[in-house]
Structure 1
Amino acid sequence: MATFAVHYSYGPAKAAIRDRLRPDHRRWLGEENKAGNVLLVGPYGDGTGALLLVRAEGGLDGAEAFIANDPFIAGEAVDAVRVLEWTQVYGPFTES
């Protein structure tokens, strides 16, 4: 299973949508974290987006299909998404 860095970009125009969807978004993140698919997640300090580190099968297409289930993505609350395969050199996330 590959690991991907997912960058969400937020603008002020969709803030109300994000506020409405945030409980579902966080519930989904929590469930996927417990399942081992979301390794870490958090917003950028300046409020312009967030970083998710996820595991997915099927390469880039699999990662994009996985994040399509995020209520923020399904609800069009994110202005832009960038998904890049990521390789850990040091740190806590080891392959199982």
Structure 2
Amino acid sequence: MKYFAVFLSMKDEELSRIHRQKHLDFLAQKRESGTVLMNGRFTDGTGGLIIYRAENEESAVSLVKQDPYISLGARDYEIREWDMETNYEF
């Protein structure tokens, strides 16, 4: 399984407000199924970040396009494969 960081940049504030609950419900469902590792908003109001787990980028993009924020035109997205480090030395 691979990880993908998806940046959701603000496209339309009004559509984001209107579809926020649909977006949050979508994320909750994907967290329960294990395809969303974590998510959160940027404190400056410019968008948010979601970490997806998927087999490949094509699968991750398919998930992203199901998000109501994307499918309903509230946000744009940028996706990057992310190599999650788990062995840090402090």
Provide the TM-score with structure 2 as the length reference: 0.90
Q: What's the counterpart of residue 67 of structure 2? A: 70
Please name the residue that 1:94 is paired with.
none
User: Which has a greater percent of strand?
Assistant: 2
* Deviations, residues 38-85 of structure 1 (Å, cap 9, x unaligned): 11100101010100001112x21111111111000110101x311011
> Which residue pairs with 1:2 in the alignment?
2
- Percent identity of paired positions between Structure 1 and Structure 2: 31
In structure 1, the residue matched to 2:48 is 50
Q: Find the aligned partners of 2:35 and 2:17 in 1 and give their Cα distance.
A: 24
TM-score (norm 1): 0.85
Runs of 4+ in 1 over 4 A off after TM superposition: none
- Counterpart of 1:46 in 2: which secondary structure? coil
Tell me the amino acid that sits aligned with residue 90 of structure 1.
T
Unaligned segments of structure 2, at least 5 residues = none
SS in structure 1 of the partner of residue 26 of structure 2:
helix
Q: CA RMSD in A?
A: 1.2
